[in-house]
A and B are shown apart, each in its own frame.
Chain A
Amino acid sequence: MTDNITLFINYERLTVPAGTSVAVAVLRANVTTLRRSVSGEPRAPLCGMGICFECRVTINGAAHARSCQIVCEPDMRVTTDD
């Protein structure tokens, strides 16, 4: 698959290969903090397989989406805690 997908990470446009997970798209956008923990620590993916919940971001307005388990779709609006 050589198609590309364009989506928005913190309001900035990003193009990624089709099949990229949202977590990876965020990291490719040079965003290193996906969420802030309850005591304010910066966090990013830990387990890479949908179990740790550290990769939670807001996708199209819905909070707590596990970005490592979701594939990028055109025009997705992804926002992180920072």
Chain B
Amino acid sequence: MSHSQTEKQSAIRNPQSAFDVAVIGAGIVGAACAYELAQAGLSVVVIESDVIGGGATAAGMGHIVVMDDSEAQFALTRLSQQLWQALLPALPRTVEYETCGTLWVAADEEEIQEVRRKQTFYQARGVAAETLDAKQLAEAEPNLREGLAGALLVNEDAVSYPPCAALWLLERAQALGAVLQQGQRVVALERDGVRLVDGSRVVANQIVNAAGSWSPELTPGIAVKKRKGHLVITDRYPGFVQHQLVELGYLKSAHSLTTDSVAFNVQPRATGQLLIGSSRQYDDESREVNTAMLQRMLKRAVEYMPRLAKLSTLRVWTGFRAATPDKLPLIGLAKENLWLATGHEGLGITTSLGTARLLADQICGRASAIPVEPYLPSRYSK
């Protein structure tokens, strides 16, 4: 069907016909890149060793959010969110895009000051944001515990189901002629293409490493580290939570470069199920659920939302974020004809579209809507 068996064969057996670009990885970032590049008229092959959207894409919250950690992070998330909004009419139901908004929950007066600072920041940049006091927060989310100080409501933030978003983006790319090469790992990046596990080669003029937490295996030395996370999904409780809920401490958790941390983060799915996160760990490379981390994460969640304790959970799973030291992704040229589109940490779903746009701009020599310097891989080789 959409897996283009015959085109796959010819890509391998006919090394004379080089693709313009080979994108490694069909997670949401790779899929988005393939779509942008195909729209730019380039011939694209996407190489995925496993299931489409099966890496960090399948372990993320699917949050489409603006962040104010830095001007560069804001610019990229804001651009990306606008690109998602432009796509919205075309997105199928399976992507489950819901503009439910984010509530950044403040536990005390100090955090309310932070809420006000964020509100000012967002409003100055054209992002709708309002401060809710304790009473308004309780009305908006009655299942949150008593005694919270308030929250920042960012109305345009949304949630989605990322594996289907990645699949849809890839299918859009294929409709424009992109080819999917699925089922084999890339073992080496070469001057004129990539080599697969069975020894065959895919020939391409440009190579994009969008392999997420595996990207340093393909391009050694890049500043990407694995950062393990846990996720829990509950049975259906429609109406239990209305908005994506995040504690302000989430930012401290995401910021830390070395320690393991948890932060309260609950999201309502279109199905009525609740996604509960979040945890961050370096140095645990096992896919297995880390019981101690899981307990910490759930305890934190129940502190903010006591009635979560009685809800039925269906599954627990893990994933690896690709983290960089300055919390900004790598989008641009690594060397020669090798490009990077990786290092998105916990913002890959949101910034997949902005990443793809900026990458395509650079490959095609177009001007970008936002400055690209903060994301260039070369910032790490100075």
A and B: direct contact (Cβ < 8 Å)?
yes
Interface residues of A, Cβ cutoff 8 Å to B: 38, 62-64
Do A38 and B310 touch (CB < 8 A)?
Answer: no
Q: Which residue of B lies closest to A62 (CB)?
A: B310
Do B235 and A64 touch (CB < 8 A)?
Answer: yes
The DSSP consensus for interface residues of chain A is: strand
A63 to B312, CA, bound (A): 9
3 tightest A-B contacts by CB? A64-B312, A64-B235, A62-B310
**A-B pair number, CB within 8 angstroms:** 9
Do B235 and A38 touch (CB < 8 A)?
Answer: no
CB distance from A51 to the nearest CB of B (A): 14
List A contacts of B237 (CB < 8 A).
63
List B contacts of A63 (CB < 8 A).
235, 237, 312
Q: Is B271 an interface residue (CB 8 A)?
A: yes
Q: Which residue of B lies closest to A63 (CB)?
A: B237
A63 to B271, CA, bound (A): 15
CB distance from A61 to the nearest CB of B (A): 9
Do B312 and A38 touch (CB < 8 A)?
Answer: no
List A contacts of B312 (CB < 8 A).
63-64
A-contacting residues, B234-265, CB 8 Å = 235-237
CB distance from B93 to the nearest CB of A (A): 12
Residue in A38, A62, A64 whose CB lies within 8 Å of B271: A38
CB distance from B54 to the nearest CB of A (A): 23
A-contacting residues, B264-287, CB 8 Å = 271
A67 to B235, CA, bound (A): 16
For this complex, 9 residue pairs linking A to B, each with C-beta atoms less than 8 Å apart, are A38-B236, A38-B271, A62-B310, A63-B235, A63-B237, A63-B312, A64-B235, A64-B236, A64-B312
Q: Which residue of B lies closest to A65 (CB)?
A: B312
CB distance from A80 to the nearest CB of B (A): 15
A62 to B307, CA, bound (A): 11
A24 to B235, CA, bound (A): 23
A63 to B237, CA, bound (A): 8
CB distance from A48 to the nearest CB of B (A): 20
A-contacting residues, B294-339, CB 8 Å = 310, 312
List B contacts of A64 (CB < 8 A).
235-236, 312
B99-118 interface bits toward A, Cβ cutoff 8 Å, 1 = contact, 0 = none = 00000000000000000000
A23 to B236, CA, bound (A): 20
A18 to B141, CA, bound (A): 41
Select the residue from B236, B271, B312 with max chain A CB neighbours within 10 A. B312
CB distance from B306 to the nearest CB of A (A): 15
List B contacts of A62 (CB < 8 A).
310
Known: A38-B271, A64-B312; 7 extra A-B contacts, CB below 8 A, are A38-B236, A62-B310, A63-B235, A63-B237, A63-B312, A64-B235, A64-B236
